[in-house]
A and B are shown apart, each in its own frame.
Chain A
Amino acid sequence: AQSVAQPEDQVNVAEGNPLTVKCTYSVSGNPYLFWYVQYPNRGLQFLLKYITGDNLVKGSYGFEAEFNKSQTSFHLKKPSALVGDSALYFCAVRVTTGGFKTIFGAGTRLFVKA
């Protein structure tokens, strides 16, 4: 079965420090990977995606993600965290068998402390 795993329920980081939110995937064939963010009382928003090409993908709000095929990982990163980055982050994989579906990880809550 195709899936994504987010091993951390919560990540705490101080403002100004780098942050990493982890994601690993299990897919058959080429992985199509996404990160979405859900701010409090708001809908999900797209952050970035990896389809093919460079392993380092840049996205919105200064976030980037590194695709690592050998480790089957797609970790979300930001060099300097902001308090406003506090939100719920979801890693997701696009599945093409049985239609075009998107499967989401369990989510990681990021707390950035001032």
Chain B
Amino acid sequence: SAVISQKPSRDICQRGTSLTIQCQVDSQVTMMFWYRQQPGQSLTLIATANQGSEATYESGFVIDKFPISRPNLTFSTLTVSNMSPEDSSIYLCSVGEPTVNEKLFFGSGTQLSVL
């Protein structure tokens, strides 16, 4: 199992600013993922954070808007840049192994509100 610490847990930000969300795992993991979840709705994968290389972004998400770092096997950051009210959401860090039968572990999420 993996224990994930995600911070901040919530923040209220002004339009045009940026917020960096941190994800720390208590063990080395191969794959880290960043999801976005509107309250009470489904999860949308933003990107896969790759250790030592650029993140792999899903359709509709770009590096300039959501830069990701993955300096080692236990840590990743997601930055939400030049925020607008449409970015208000819950951002979730998730980890897993690259095998089909392995479950994901999730952080408790960062609830972001953009004014």
B41 nearest in chain A by CB position:
A107
- Chain A residues contacting B107 (CB-CB under 8 Å) are 43
List of A residues within 8 angstroms of B103 by Cβ: 34, 46, 49
Distance, CA A42 to CA B6, complexed state (A): 12
Does B56 count as interface, using CB distance less than 8 angstroms? yes
Inter-subunit contact A109/B48 (CB<8 Å): no
Count contacts on A: residues with CB < 8 A to the other chain: 25
Q: Report the Cα distance A84→B43, complex, angstroms.
A: 23
Q: Quick one: which of A45, A88, A99, A105 contacts B40, CB cutoff 8 A?
A: A88
Interface size bracket, B side? 20 to 34
A32-B101, A49-B103 known; A99+B48 contact, CB < 8 A: yes
Q: How far is the CA of A102 from the CA of B58 in the complex (A)?
A: 12
Q: Across the interface, do B48 and A106 meet the contact criterion of CB distance under 8 Å?
A: no
Binary flags per residue of A25-59, CB closer than 8 Å to B gives 1, else 0: 00000001010100000111110010100000000
B75 at the interface (CB under 8 A from A): no
Q: Which of B33, B92, B96, B100 makes the CB contact (< 8 A) with A51?
A: B100
Chain B minimum-CB-distance residue to A88: B40
Q: State whether A102 and B98 are in contact (beta carbons under 8 Å apart), knowing that A34-B103, A44-B92, A49-B103 are contacts in the complex.
A: no
Assess whether A43 is in contact with B92, with CB atoms less than 8 Å apart: yes
**Closest Cβ neighbor of A107 among chain B residues:** B42
Q: Which of A90, A102, A107 has the most CB of B within 10 A?
A: A102
Measured between C-beta atoms, what is the minimum distance from B8 to chain A in Å?
15
Interface residues of B (CB under 8 A from A): 4, 31, 33, 40-43, 45, 48, 56, 92, 94, 96-101, 103-109
Instruction: A98-B56, A101-B33 are known; give 13 further A-B pairs, CB within 8 A.
Output: A32-B100, A34-B104, A43-B107, A43-B108, A43-B109, A44-B92, A44-B94, A46-B105, A49-B103, A100-B31, A100-B97, A102-B94, A107-B40
Interface of A toward B, CB cutoff 8 Å: 32, 34, 36, 42-46, 49, 51, 88, 90, 94, 96, 98-107, 109
